[in-house]
Amino acid sequence: MARKFKYGAQSIIYTLVVIAAVVLFDALFSLATENHPLQKDITQSGVFSVSDISKEFYAPLMDKQFEVSY
């Protein structure tokens, strides 16, 4: 019985350590990318970039708050 408890306790501890490490990594990664987003258009022709006309069109909407309901 003591052997089962020992290995069971170790597996629970290892699982909690791995979960804590993943949560910590996610939190640190989120903080690091908050001011420096990782999204970048790396296509040669800039297919996925936003045009200047679109930026001008949506500029007035950037300061407004919206309520989304579904």
What is the distance between the alpha carbons of residues 30 and 41, in angstroms, rounded to a whole number? 20
Q: What percent of the chain has pLDDT over 90?
A: 26
For residue 38, what pLDDT is reported?
A: 67
Q: What percent of the chain has pLDDT over 70?
A: 90
Q: ∠ at Cα 60 (54, 61), nearest 5°?
A: 85
What is the distance between the alpha carbons of residues 1 and 65, in angstroms, rounded to a whole number? 60
Amino acid at 13: I
pTM for this predicted structure: 0.48
| Cα separation values, 21 from 17, 28, 31, 32, Å | 6, 10, 15, 16
Query: Among 8-17, 24-33, 36-45, whose mean pLDDT is lowest?
Result: 36-45
